[in-house]
C-alpha cells in the first residue's frame, strides 16, 4: 500500500504501544471504521520487535516457507518512525484487516515489519490520515499472468504476519 500522507489527526502522547495503538486512533475509528487509515508514529522506542523476511531462494517460494527462515530482531532505546496502515475487516483478502506497520530507525540501519513496540521516552507524535480511496493495480507482465497467484492458507498468512 502507498499513499500521499496528509494527516487528519495529530496527537502527542506520553507513551504508546502496539496494544494501545487502536485506542490512540479511536477519535477517527468510530466515525471512519470502514475507511483505511495511514499511520505514522515518531518517537524514541524503548523496544521494537521486528520481522525480517529473507529473499526467496527460488521463484514462487511461498510466504509460509519464507516465514520459517525469518529473523525477529529486537531493537531497544532507538529513535525512529513507525508507519503503515489500518485496514477495515471487509478488506480481508486484498489487505490484512487491522494494523500492518513497519519501522525505520532515524539512522536507517534498523527496519522491518513491526510485531510489537513500546514508545514514549520523551513522548511520541502520532499522526493518522483517513483514506477514502483504495485502488488495486496488477502487473501487466507475462510472468504475473502465467499462473494463478495464491496466498496460501489464512492460518499461514496470519502466522507470517505475527497475528496467528
**Which domains can be identified in the chain, with CATH numbers?**
9-161 (3.30.1330.80)
- The answer on pLDDT for 32 being more than 60 is yes
Mean pLDDT, residues 27-36 taken together: 73
pLDDT confidence bin for 30, thresholds 50/70/90: low
Residue 19 binned pLDDT confidence (cut-offs 50, 70, 90): very high
What is the model's pLDDT at position 164? Answer: 47
Q: What is the DSSP string of the chain?
A: -------SEEEEES-EEGGGHHHHTTTTTTTSTTSEEEEEEEEEEEEEEEEBPPPPSSTT--HHHHHHT-B--EEEEEEEEEEEEEE-GGGBTTB-SEEEEEEEETTSS-EEEEEEEEEEEEEEEEEEEEE----------HHHHTS------HHHHHHHHT--
Q: What is the pLDDT of residue 156?
A: 67
Amino acid at each position: 500500500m502507498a499513499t500521499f500522507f496528509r494527516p487528519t489527526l495529530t496527537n502527542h502522547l506520553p507513551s504508546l504501544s502496539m496494544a494501545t495503538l487502536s485506542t490512540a486512533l479511536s477519535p477517527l475509528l468510530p466515525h471512519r471504521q470502514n475507511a483505511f487509515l495511514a499511520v505514522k508514529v515518531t518517537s524514541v522506542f524503548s523496544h521494537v520487535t521486528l520481522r525480517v523476511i529473507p529473499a526467496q531462494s527460488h521463484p514462487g517460494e511461498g510466504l509460509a516457507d519464507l516465514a520459517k527462515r525469518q529473523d525477529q530482531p529486537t531493537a531497544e532505546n532507538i529513535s525512529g518512525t513507525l508507519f503503515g496502515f489500518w485496514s477495515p475487516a471487509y478488506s480481508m483478502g486484498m489487505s490484512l484487516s487491522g494494523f500492518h506497520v513497519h519501522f525505520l530507525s532515524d539512522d536507517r540501519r534498523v527496519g522491518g515489519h513491526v510485531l510489537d513496540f513500546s514508545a514514549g521516552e520523551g513522548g511520541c507524535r502520532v499522526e493518522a490520515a483517513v483514506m477514502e480511496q483504495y485502488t488495486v493495480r496488477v502487473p501487466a507482465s507475462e510472468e504475473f499472468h502465467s499462473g494463478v497467484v495464491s496466498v496460501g492458507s489464512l492460518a499461514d498468512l496470519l502466522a507470517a504476519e505475527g497475528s496467528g
